[in-house]
Structure 1
């Protein structure tokens, strides 16, 4: 089971590497161009593109935003057709190597709505920069545990069943201040 998990993680790192390189080359950007647009160092982008490093959630968010994509699009595995069943075991997952934050892509990224399931470990925080949010409306719905969500200057504590619509784009921090796992769903309405 451990080797299977390792193999899946390697696959995801390879897919991210290929996608970042592909998107950068499509735009005819150098590593320096992408570094300037994303705020991620040229050296880190080089490591990511060579699959020598898995990006953190913050870095992944910055790279996605530079390409004017959602994180889901950047992590997308393959195209899916309408009506396709995506079994739990087939849903692409990605784990932040720094925090253990786990992101599961529930819906096909090709739909006008993105549904992402998140597991945030106990005593863990993930900050997503402002650049990740332009022209995207989002909801957060907590299904297990408690989430402390900071949006700019505003802090909200969400319990099981609570749903919060995000406001204007600003830096956001997702924090699990408890000793147990927090599960929440992020629903992103894509721009038309």
Structure 2
């Protein structure tokens, strides 16, 4: 079995690789992402662990999904990604856990992400500027308040909502237990 680096170790390298692949300077990426040059530099050197919101801004500025910065580039290898091989990342601010479930392969327009949002925590993602997706959010356990623009969905286990990353999204866990949900992302430009 191949060894896999954790997202905490991959993120600095992946941000730098993708920035360089696009021929962007730190200043250019900072301007595009509305993130300070110093913060991007710290992330690339592994001196700062970005929050989910910050990493999402950087990914969006480069036209990438958040998952693309927390895992190795997707290459055709196998049709199965075992649980122990699925890259997962913990947001240092909220404890939010994001796990890329989708098997490695070509740059598929669809990906499946499993999320655990701790009790009484909230994560808000700004509307994306470049890589958009229609997302289906399926609540597996707990409770989840999902706000997309001005619409609030109060989800119970088994409920599924469709939202778009072209609008701000807020995920709030109002309960005393962890909310576990899947996000099925269909990307488009």
Q: CA deviation at 1:24?
A: 1.1
Deviation at 1:11, TM superposition (A): 3.8
* 1:166 alignment partner, SS class: strand
TM value normalised by structure 1: 0.88
Partner in structure 2 of residue 159 of structure 1: 156
Q: How does 1:94-105 map to 2 (within 5 A)?
A: 94-105=89-100
C-alpha displacement at 1:135, in angstroms?
3.2
Q: Is 2:43 the partner of 1:15?
A: no
- What number of residue pairs does the alignment pair up? 184
User: Is structure 2 residue 49 aligned with structure 1 residue 54?
Assistant: yes
Once the two structures are TM-superposed, the CA of residue 30 in structure 1 deviates from its matched residue by 1.3
Q: Does 1:89 align with 2:88?
A: no
Q: How does 1:1-192 map to 2 (within 5 A)?
A: 11-81=6-76, 83-108=78-103, 110-131=107-128, 134-167=131-164, 169-191=166-188
Q: Alpha carbon RMSD of aligned pairs, Å?
A: 2.0
Q: Given that residues 139 and 158 in structure 2 are in contact (C-alpha distance below 8 angstroms), is that contact kept between their aligned partners in structure 1?
A: yes
| Cα separation, partners in 2 of 1:68 and 1:134, compared to 1, 3 Å | closer
Gaps of 5+ in 1: 1-7
* More helix as a share of residues: 1
Deviation at 1:167, TM superposition (A): 4.3
